[in-house]
Chains A and B, each alone.
Chain A
Amino acid sequence: MGLFDRLTGLLGLKKKEVNVLVIGLNNSGKSTVINHFKREDDRCIDIVPTVGFNVEKFAFKNVGFTAFDMSGHDRYRSLWEHYYKDCQGIIFIIDSSDKLRLVVAKEELDMLLQHPDVAGRKIPILFLANKMDLPDSLTTVKLASGLGLDRIQNKPWHIRATNAVTGEGLQPAIEWLTDQIRDIYINKR
């Protein structure tokens, strides 16, 4: 078994397991995004506000993802920082129609970036500008400047407009994250 393991590992065939953290304000669509990544037969029909967090598993491009779908309710946001240490990627979801709370999203992002478990590490951050179908949604350019994403120096980041209900934009986004995680964590060894 050992020889076969090493062989598949060398060839990149073996599934690698990574943890990703899914965060964002409440009602931004985190659980809906994760629901879309799951296999068709595992998907739930009703998405209710998450309490605490949910752990979901899905695979993409031979990488097994364990997604920590955190609750975005402000009562549970203090839980996020306990998962920063063990994650290899972060998905930050923004409701692009919620202009009022863009400042709150920025505040949470700033706290994330300044956290000791995140600040010095090279973690890829994927921003999903969700609810792009709504009429008054902000563009990714506006969101990027509103959140001050240009300040992020030591981490690869990517922003993408998505619609988690139809799944629009999710595929290229997760592809980017998978490639980044593969570059940083898997091919390093």
Chain B
Amino acid sequence: MNGLGIDRHGVGGLGTSRWLEAIWEPGARIYCLPGGLEMLDISGDGDARFIVADLGTGAAESAKIRVFKGGDQITEHSMIDPPCGVVGFYSENGEPQSALLAVGAGSSVYIYKNMRPHFKYCLPYMDAHPKEREIWHRAGLEEELNVLSLSDELELLLKELGAATISPRTLKFLGMDVSLRFSFAEQYRRIPLSKANAVTTIDTIRKDSWNDPASSCLLIGTESGEILVLDSRAFSVVDKLPLGWPPVSLLSTGLWAGDGHIIAIGRDGKLGSVRKGCALRLWDKLSAPAVALTTLAGDNAAVAAMDGTLVGFSKKGIKLWQLQLPGIALDLISLPVLQSGLSLLAVSVAGSGVLLYDGKFHVDSIKTAEPISAIKHGRMGQEERAMAMVTIGGGLNVKILKRTADFSVKASTNPTMNSNNNRFTIPKKTRLFVEQTIRERSEAAKIHNAFQSAFLRLRLTVARKAVEILATNQEFRPNPITLEASVLGLGPNYLIKILVTNISDGLSDTELFLVCRDENADIKPRVIDLPLLPSGIPIPVSVNATPRGKIPGKVHIMLCKMGKVKPIALTTVVLPVPEDDIEV
């Protein structure tokens, strides 16, 4: 009925548990999955309500949104389609009255203000498969509809493509009794074929402020493999982030106006992050489909998978750690502990209740009578540290974290350990140590020689490496000297004119020289020392070149510096094939 059942925790003593049992309603009949719980101050009066996206129990009860105050339900709102997620957000910065609730269901997002319908955003239709469209288009053009051939064609198409890519119209047509197909096809064949999109998941990202409450953009994951970013005021699409696969869970970090990015998980366990204006960066592919995705201490992310693993990822997508849970994971949330600045992970495990982890270290467990199917931590009523848990059987359990709860297990045990063990423990001489000492004494010269030779070898390797690095060392400095070369003359004696210009502001380096090289020509002089080059004045240098044969040669002209192996600049000129001397 209410929170009066607390006395069973023993009268008098402060319990050893870190949690206070506030509400236990075994008969709340909530049927809910991860992502279907929200805590939001819907009317802005400072009293946060607990909102449940109840999927209903099959045919008997339809899906609905239920609003709880404490353990008592205050309103419920029927839904046509089962909701895939519920999320609360604010449309204005610093105005708690602007709280809105968004529910993703079917192909629409329903937005409630003060629990009254406020807006409905419908996803745009997807294009049907071209082959399917073609079949229906042809059926629409026919004078007399041939139902049998239409059915055959669609049957074939269904076998070819599979039901996932076929539009609902075809599926319904093929699922009908043969006698009813004609009237159905007659009714719809002239209407253009369309295929509805579906919302797969819903989340928010902070727009431009870190203060609370802050306006957020809605993130909608769609079956067509996109994330739509919706403005919080006009509910218009601000951005489309293509993923290529439908996301099942989203997580946002940072500000949308800043460097915020969105982490998405696909049905097959694909995990990646996407940012405004950037393509998807695939992080990893999980071994099993994901159960839930949540933030982990700052901007990192933690994922619980169906095979009972809990994986921590850094914000860059690097796997930080992975641990095996004692059972199947059912939900995962992050649990910030404000008083100690910790950010814990609460993971519901079938058979073990709820386990709390600080990173990969297990710090606390909450035993529950039934497995927990969904958890939500946040502000409930006036309480900021409430954790609501919905059991598989539909019960609602709310626990409140004690103000004095201390999760620093490691920190509290270590100092006491040290104070007890003041004396250093000196290890006894082991047999190995004694044997080593005897060997050292008897074979001193041999050990010394072995060490010396190894040491010399090490020095040689280091020296070789150093030479290698020096030889291949490249100057990344911009080269301030340009070379221009031109070939003058008709041959076979050519004159190569080289203009050396210092384009920097100051004087050039000293000890520069030019080297001209060609395997098929005699060049005189091969090496020319350059004077100090003043800024901006081209210095002409002339070289004589005579090709040795009738092969056109390339002359490499290299600008080098004394003591450097690599040339500073290089240019090539081609010596043309000389004409035969004409005897006059």
- Point out residues on A near B: beta carbons under 8 Å: 25-27, 74-75, 77-78, 95, 98-104, 106-108, 110-111, 114, 136, 138, 142, 145-146, 148, 151
Contact = CB atoms under 8 A, between A and B. Distances in A.
Interface in B381-439: 381-386, 398, 400, 402-404
B11 interface: yes
Contact of B2 (A27, A78, A99, A148): A99
A100 B20 contact: no
A151 B14 CA distance: 13
B381 A146 contact: no
A98 B381 contact: yes
The 4 closest A-B pairs by CB, nearest first: A103-B20, A99-B2, A100-B70, A102-B3
B22 interface: yes
B92 interface: no
Which residue, B7, B382, B385, B386, has most C-beta atoms of chain A within 10 A?
B382
Interface string B1-37: 0111011000110100000111100000000000000
Contact of A146 (B4, B339, B400): B4
Given A27-B382, A103-B22, 15 more contacts: A75-B339, A77-B403, A98-B381, A99-B70, A100-B3, A100-B70, A100-B380, A100-B381, A100-B382, A101-B22, A102-B3, A102-B4, A103-B400, A110-B14, A136-B72
Contacts of B381: 98, 100-101
Interface residues of B, number: 30
Given A99-B70, A146-B4, A74 B403 contact: yes
Contacts of B23: 100
Contacts of B20: 103-104, 106-107
B71 interface: yes
5 contacts: A78-B403, A98-B381, A104-B400, A107-B403, A148-B7
B549 interface: no
Contacts of A101: 3, 22, 381-383, 400
A102 B6 contact: yes
Contact of B11 (A95, A111, A146, A151): A151
B383 A104 contact: yes
Contacts of A26: 382
B540 interface: no
B370 to A, nearest CB: 21
A100 B398 contact: yes
Contacts of B403: 74, 77-78, 104, 107-108
